[in-house]
């Protein structure tokens, strides 16, 4: 089995900076979503409810993409006063409105009817629909739904002026005292009560940022999935050549703090600022320029999109001082390759990578003050070259229209059983990932994996399906934590009964022939049924490859095998090798190998053409490790009940003979001052090996120096708790994921010199290598690491750079997606 080969068959949950201090905590469970059985006689009917339609702004951009995800849905809104020129995003759909539409002066004074809005939204009749999707920044989430309807609410924000911004709203409206103020406060109090009550009728919340997710938790005591709003990054092109001016652009309203930016630049006459925008504060801004005689500040007012885009592309940096829920302009600037200097609160913290990130796209200032802005601009000007335009563009593409559609559609599909078999409409869907052509946008992938365990192969597949989202369906041949992880990402997943094939082993162990044949036939039949709705079958493990090759022949779909094994007699029995050769000849269109070592062994076994084999290194995210950067090692050790003052050497893989944990224990005998930490457990009938390890520990008096931690949810925390990471496989490793993770954890790594390990470690540069199975060599290597802090520091620095540069997730996902798209396209051309 392919996931037998990789190192970390361990359950994982990445940590964020917010949760790092709590270490291995259990996340708050989302409330159960009400689910009704899918009807078989007709497709699910969907209603989309929006607050009000009066202009095409940020909330309407989200609505546009929700409509694109569900083009057959009907639209409801309190009022609809869109001009003809602004209606195109509704795709010609009629809008059902409330009684406010016909009230006096509603076109211009609709906000004055706020006290009536709760009543009005409750009068919209959506009872005929199976699914209700509300797009809400005011009252849309309060639409009435029944117990058999699923209500999903995309929240731009809980009603701002009724909650934490009430006092600011009253001040700006000059309602701080008097009878009008008392009435306004009474209305807002009523709105808050109504807002909380109606939150209980929402089955699932989606927030447009982590910032709004925290607001939802604070106000409604509910968890929310974060799906960033769509930004049309394709409307902006990368510009590497920057000119000597800074830019700020927004509607000029008080909370945007444009006056602060202008005053800050007035105190930096050597820095030029261009201001684009219009609004109530325009006069205030112009007066500030005149008052300060700021000839270096140019206020050019409202400008057409083409002018704004041109300035964004050429600007040295984009300055942003507002506390926004998200901040689309910040992403648009980065889409142009322009770094951002932003106030470090709100959505900017999620859309800008600060100077401490390996690929920074901007920096933050801590206060909305002139002094803080000046300090940030000067810091930026000291070394603007550290913010690369290409990094800014790559960061912006995370918020593309294609990514939004895939994530939102996937979330709705996962929440609503009646939509489980539906696919994201592929017509005119832009893709914000690696491949932007029409073939990629329509690509439909059936990914198959034999395991429900979160092994290394499964972790790697998870990165792929997170990127493909609504374009991929996953089939597993066993249930387990992997299924739960896929569902959390909104990915469609089916679990098939593997029957007797569950007992097939790489080294040749098989169940009775007829039982095995029956199990294979059942899996092939079920896979063929699902493959007919896909363009390509993507097999992630060895047993899945066999089923995929057979299913591909019947369904007439190309099969791509992601090879994560060295297919040799050291790892496979003769029967399994013969089956691999047969499948290669019968039904494999392409092979993706996780290392050159894996590719060579496969080519030698099968004579598979080089043009049909590509090497794509596994992509491993750095975020879980970076989140622990500031957590003291003593805290991690205390949490794991590890000794505080010992030199700890960590081993991270399932307990198996060929993984060589016994070699590490033998090295411990030779190094009395060290402790070994073994993270992992036996998985596939290897309990006898675990017993051997425990017996060795007991017979050599190592009980106090060897720590068996078993499976751990957070491997990053375990790695950061040790002093060094040892990779001890006694037969060639296909890749060596644990080595890259050790590098990301900023720990010196000692690896066995064989297989894919030699493609990761440059000996004595980013790690150390020793002879596989040689306990004396390993003991000497570990002793050198313990005695030479300067060596460790050098290896750690180079190792981290290698891991981020060579084994990042972006290159991995792009490589796999490119190959799947190419194979599917070639098949389509042959059959057309």
A 10 A CB-CB count for 720 gives 25
Residues 6+ apart with CB under 8 A from 225: 204, 205, 206, 207, 411, 490
Residues in CB range of 800: below 8 A, 6 or more apart = 743, 744, 746
Write the secondary structure of 574-610 as one string of H (helix), E (strand) and C (coil): HHHHHHHHHHHHHCCCEEEECCHHHHHHHHHHHCCCH
What pLDDT score does 452 carry?
83
Token pair of 41 as six digits: 């006689």
536 exposure class (CB count in 10 Å sphere: 0-12, 13-18, 19+)? buried
DSSP run (H or E) holding 297:
strand 297-301
Angle at 31 between CA 29 and CA 32, to 5 degrees: 115
8 A C-beta contact, residue 250 and residue 312: no
**696-716 burial: b if 16+ Cβ within 10 Å, else e:** bbeeeebeebbbbbebbbbbb
Q: Which domains does the chain have, with CATH numbers?
A: 2-16+437-619+812-831 (3.40.50.2000), 46-226 (3.40.50), 233-399 (3.40.50.2000), 625-807 (3.40.50.2000)
pLDDT at 611: 84
Tokens in use for 547? 């089923």
Burial of 501 (0-12, 13-18, 19+ CB in 10 A): buried
Residue 54 CB coordination number (10 Å): 20
Locate tokens 């600007």: which residue? 315
Nearest to 5 by CA among 424, 597, 429, 486: 597
Backbone φ, ψ for residue 739 (5° rounding) = -65, -45
Nearest to 791, CA basis, from 760, 759, 767, 762: 767
Neighbours of 241 (CB within 10 A): 8
pLDDT of residue 186: 85
Whether 629 and 738 have beta carbons less than 8 Å apart is answered as no
pLDDT mean for each 10 residues of the chain (832 residues):
36 37 37 46 88 88 93 95 85 92 92 90 95 94 95 90 66 74 81 89 93 89 91 90 94 88 95 92 88 91 90 96 89 96 90 87 94 96 93 90 90 88 65 36 82 84 84 88 82 79 54 73 90 91 91 93 88 86 89 91 89 89 88 93 96 92 96 95 83 96 95 90 96 90 96 92 94 96 96 95 86 87 73 52
| 166: three-class secondary structure by DSSP | helix
Q: Which residues, 6 or more positions from 773, have their beta carbon under 8 angstroms from its beta carbon?
A: 660, 663, 730, 752
Helix (H) or strand (E) segment spanning residue 134 = strand 131-136
Report the DSSP beta bridge partners of residue 132: 47, 151
Rounded Cα distance between 655 and 821, Å, is 37
Distance CA 29, CA 15 (A): 16
Report the alpha-carbon distance of residue 417 to residue 410 in Å, rounded.
12
Cα–Cα distance for residue pair 513/500, rounded to 1 Å: 9
What one-character-per-residue DSSP string does 716-748 give?
A: HHHHHHSSEEE---SS--S--HHHHHHHHTT--
Backbone φ, ψ for residue 495 (5° rounding): -115, 120
Judged by phi (left if over 0) then psi (alpha if -120 to 50, else beta), residue 134 lies in beta
Spatial distance between the Cα atoms of 21 and 353, rounded to a whole number of angstroms = 21
Distance CA 752, CA 770 (A): 5
Cβ atoms 448, 560 nearer than 8 A: no
The answer to whether residues 317 and 362 touch, using CB atoms and an 8 Å cutoff, is yes
Q: What is the pLDDT of residue 609?
A: 81
HSE value, Cβ hemisphere, 13 Å, CA-based, for 250: 25
**Token pair for 676:** 């070994």
Do 386 and 355 meet the contact criterion of CB atoms below 8 Å apart?
A: yes
How far apart, in whole angstroms, are the C-alpha atoms of residue 612 and residue 560? 10
| CB contact set of 601 (below 8 Å; sequence gap of 6+) | 566, 567, 568
CA pair distance 140, 130, nearest whole angstrom: 17
Strand partners of residue 676: 649, 706
Distance of CA 445 to the CA centre of its chain: 19
Residue with tokens 């684009």, as numbered in its chain: 276
Residue 539: which H helix or E strand, with range?
Answer: strand 536-539
Instruction: Look at the alpha carbons of 713, 717, 720, 723 in this order and tell me if their dihedral is positive or negative.
Output: negative
Of the candidates 143, 185, 182, the one whose C-alpha atom is nearest the C-alpha of residue 162 is 185
- Report DSSP letters for 628-683, one per residue: TTTS-HHHHHHHHT--SSSEEEEEES---GGGTHHHHHHHHHH-TTEEEEEE----
Q: Name which of 4, 12, 8 is nearest 713 in CA terms.
A: 12
**Could you say which DSSP state residue 356 is in?**
T
- Give the Cα separation of 228 and 154 in Å (integer): 10
């Amino acid at each position: 089995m392919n996931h037998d080969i990789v190192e970390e068959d361990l359950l994982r949950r990445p940590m964020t900076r917010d949760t790092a201090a709590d270490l291995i905590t259990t996340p708050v469970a989302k409330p159960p979503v009400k689910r009704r059985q899918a009807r078989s006689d007709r497709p699910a009917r969907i209603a989309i409810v929006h607050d009000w339609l009066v202009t095409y702004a940020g909330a309407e951009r989200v609505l546009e993409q929700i409509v694109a995800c569900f083009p057959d849905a009907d639209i409801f809104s309190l009022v609809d006063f869109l001009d003809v020129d602004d209606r195109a995003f509704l795709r010609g759909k009629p809008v059902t409105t409330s009684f406010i539409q016909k009230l006096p002066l509603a076109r211009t004074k609709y906000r004055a009817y706020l006290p009536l809005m709760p009543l009005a939204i409750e009068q919209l009749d959506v009872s005929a629909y199976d699914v209700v999707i509300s797009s809400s920044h005011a009252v849309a989430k309060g639409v009435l739904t029944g117990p058999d309807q699923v209500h999903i609410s995309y929240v731009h924000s809980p009603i701002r002026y009724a909650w934490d911004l009430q006092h600011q709203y009253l001040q700006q409206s000059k309602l701080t005292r008097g009878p009008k103020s008392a009435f306004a406060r009474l209305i807002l109090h009523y709105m808050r009560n109504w807002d909380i009550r109606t939150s209980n009728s929402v089955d699932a919340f989606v927030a447009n940022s982590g910032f709004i997710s925290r607001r939802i938790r604070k106000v409604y005591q509910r968890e929310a999935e974060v799906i960033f709003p769509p930004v049309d990054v394709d409307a902006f092109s990368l510009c590497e050549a920057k000119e000597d001016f800074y830019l700020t652009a927004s509607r000029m309203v008080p909370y945007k703090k444009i006056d602060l930016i202008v005053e800050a630049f007035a105190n930096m006459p050597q820095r030029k600022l261009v201001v684009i925008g219009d609004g109530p504060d325009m006069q205030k801004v112009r007066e500030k320029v005149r008052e300060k005689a700021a000839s270096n500040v140019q206020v050019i007012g409202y400008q057409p999109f083409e002018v704004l885009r041109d300035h964004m592309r050429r600007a040295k940096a984009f300055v942003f001082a507002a506390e926004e829920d998200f901040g689309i302009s910040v992403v648009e600037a980065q889409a142009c390759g322009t770094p951002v200097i932003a106030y470090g609160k709100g959505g900017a913290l999620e859309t800008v990578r600060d100077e401490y990130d390996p690929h920074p796209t901007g920096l933050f200032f801590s206060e909305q003050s002139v002094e803080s802005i000046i300090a940030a601009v000067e810091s930026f000007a000291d070394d603007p070259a550290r913010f690369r335009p290409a990094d800014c563009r790559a960061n912006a593409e995370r918020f593309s229209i294609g990514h939004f559609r895939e994530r939102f559609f996937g979330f709705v599909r996962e929440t609503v059983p009646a939509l489980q078999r539906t696919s994201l409409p592929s017509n005119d869907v832009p893709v914000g990932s690696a491949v932007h052509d029409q073939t990629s946008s329509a690509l439909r992938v059936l990914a198959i994996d034999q395991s429900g365990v979160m092994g290394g192969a499964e972790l790697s597949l998870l990165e792929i399906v997170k990127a493909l989202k609504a374009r991929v369906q996953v089939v597993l041949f066993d249930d387990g934590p992997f299924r739960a992880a896929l569902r959390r990402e909104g990915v469609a997943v089916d679990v098939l009964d593997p029957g007797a094939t569950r007992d097939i082993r790489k080294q040749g162990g098989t169940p009775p022939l007829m039982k095995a044949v029956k199990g294979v036939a059942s899996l092939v039949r079920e896979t063929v049924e699902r493959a007919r709705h896909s363009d390509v079958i993507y097999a992630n493990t060895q047993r899945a490859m066999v089923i995929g090759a057979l299913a591909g022949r019947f369904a007439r779909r190309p099969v791509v095998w992601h090879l994560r094994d060295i297919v040799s007699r050291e790892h496979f029995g003769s029967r399994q090798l013969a089956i691999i050769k047969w499948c290669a000849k019968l039904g494999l269109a392409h092979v993706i190998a996780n290392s050159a070592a894996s590719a060579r062994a496969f080519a030698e076994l099968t004579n598979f053409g080089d043009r049909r084999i590509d090497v794509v290194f596994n992509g491993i995210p750095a975020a879980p490790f970076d989140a622990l950067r500031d957590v003291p090692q003593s805290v991690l050790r205390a949490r794991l009940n590890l000794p505080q003052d010992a030199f700890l050497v960590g081993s991270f893989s399932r307990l198996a003979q060929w993984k060589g944990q016994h070699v590490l224990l033998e090295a411990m005998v030779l190094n009395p001052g060290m402790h070994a930490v073994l993270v992992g457990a036996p998985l596939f009938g290897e309990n006898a090996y675990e017993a051997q390890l425990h017996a060795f520990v007991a017979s050599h008096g190592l009980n106090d120096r060897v720590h068996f931690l078993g499976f751990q949810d957070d491997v990053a925390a375990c790695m950061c708790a040790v002093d060094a990471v040892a990779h001890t496989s006694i037969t060639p490793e296909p890749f060596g994921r644990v080595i890259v993770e050790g590098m990301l954890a900023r720990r010196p790594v000692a690896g066995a010199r064989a297989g894919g390990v030699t493609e990761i470690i440059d000996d004595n540069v980013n790690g150390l290598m020793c002879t596989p199975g040689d306990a004396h060599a390993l003991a000497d290597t570990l002793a050198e690491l313990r005695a030479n802090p300067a060596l460790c520091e050098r290896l750690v620095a180079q190792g981290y750079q290698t891991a981020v540069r060579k084994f990042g997730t972006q290159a991995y996902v792009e490589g796999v997606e490119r190959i799947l798209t190419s194979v599917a396209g070639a098949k389509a051309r042959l059959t057309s």
